[in-house]
Amino acid sequence: MKYRQIGKWGVRLSCLGIGSYLTFGLKVDDETTKEIIKVAYENGINFIDTSNAYANGAAEEALGRCLSNFSRSSLFILTKAFYPMGLGPNDRGLSAKHIKEQCEASLRRLKMEYIDVYMCHRPDSKTPLEETIRALEDLTRQGKILYWGVSEWMPDQIVKAQSVAKEVGARPMIINEPRYSLLYRYPELDIFPTTLAEGIGNVNFSPLAHGMLTGKYLPGKSAPKGTRAADLDINEDIMGLYWTEENKQKGQELAKIANDLGVSAVQLAITWCLKHPAITSVILGIRTVEQMKENLKAVDIDITEDLMEVLDKLYPAPKKRPAAPTG
């Protein structure tokens, strides 16, 4: 396994991380979860990403049950707050009240004394940044979190947050979590230049575009049974963002390129993400031990500049973002 610092900061993450969105506590049972984590840990992965909102707390609970036998100091745990966790008017957002209460709830579910990174899952236009950042600073001083970060914030929001943190004497954010893949390259336009300038690391989610980059979806065919795209419970993102005949055809071309290299489309798509200098770690959505073992091989693939040009031609970088950010 290879390790990278989070931006300019001292802590080091494995360049592959384990995600829990739509998997642990929802589609993956505890026995399989334990086996996936065991294989990941034995191969050097120290980074696990989750959220209070994933399966309404069940993902954190599953991790709490499955991580109890691991050394806490050998793990780097990231969880989040923002989305509704109840029906009350204060059961959502980034107010000081919600942040404090949800951090404590996450600690109980995870069965841990502290969280390595506590993340603002989305921006909250109804709460002043000063309130949010002071609440995060309070949690840091109490020893409940070590660092904080954001997910799916725009560049101006990131820069403003860093400025406010400095103004109020709080610790700055160290990490950002964007959607990023061959099929979603918008962070290259603005997010990555901003985070590189600010010394912020990036851990990206959805490196396989919800499975669209695996090559398993065939042009002119519906989604095979058992795949994410065929699961009505969890296929909203892939259907809304990527499900086109053009993208299915490109997936076949990507699979051929990978096959000619002696690797899988999955491995190549993950390795491509790691090629960008702004990326600290790629978050993997794993449902089986076999997937975990296949994904691990991505760290050993070398992408040449010639291959990068081929992939750029197949999945060209966008010239601008859509009118409103998707996802």
pLDDT digits (tens, 9 = 90+) for 192-220: 999 999 999 999 999 999 999 999 999 99
Strands (E), 159-262: 175-177, 201-204
pLDDT in tens, 157-175: 999 999 999 999 999 999 9
pLDDT in tens, 36-88: 999 999 999 999 999 999 999 999 999 999 999 999 999 999 999 999 999 99
- Identify the sign of the CA torsion 211, 180, 15, 56: negative
What percentage of the chain exceeds 70 in pLDDT? 98
The residue type found at 25 is G
Q: How many CA atoms lie within 13 A of 35 on its CB side?
A: 12
pLDDT computed for residue 324 by the predictor: 55
pLDDT computed for residue 129 by the predictor: 98
For residues 99-122, give the mean pLDDT: 98
Neighbours of 12 (CB within 10 A): 16
pLDDT computed for residue 322 by the predictor: 82
Architecture of domain 3-214+264-302: Alpha-Beta Barrel (3.20)
Q: Which of 21, 41, 54, 147 is catalytic?
A: 54
User: What confidence category does residue 327 fall into, taking pLDDT thresholds of 50, 70 and 90?
Assistant: very low
What percentage of the chain exceeds 90 in pLDDT? 96
Residue 325 has pLDDT above 60, yes or no: no
For residues 174-192, give the mean pLDDT: 98
Contacts of 109 (CB under 8 A, 6+ apart): 52, 57, 60, 61, 63, 64
129 alpha carbon, distance to own chain's centre = 23
CA angle at residue 324 from 117 to 189, to 5 degrees? 65
Please answer whether residues 64 and 112 qualify as being in contact, where contact means their C-beta atoms are separated by less than 8 angstroms.
yes
Active site residue 186: no
Please answer whether residues 189 and 321 qualify as being in contact, where contact means their C-beta atoms are separated by less than 8 angstroms.
yes
User: What confidence category does residue 226 fall into, taking pLDDT thresholds of 50, 70 and 90?
Assistant: confident
User: What confidence category does residue 326 fall into, taking pLDDT thresholds of 50, 70 and 90?
Assistant: very low
pLDDT computed for residue 223 by the predictor: 94
pTM over 0.85: yes
Q: What is the DSSP string of 277-314?
A: TTEEEEEE---SHHHHHHHHGGGG----HHHHHHHHHH
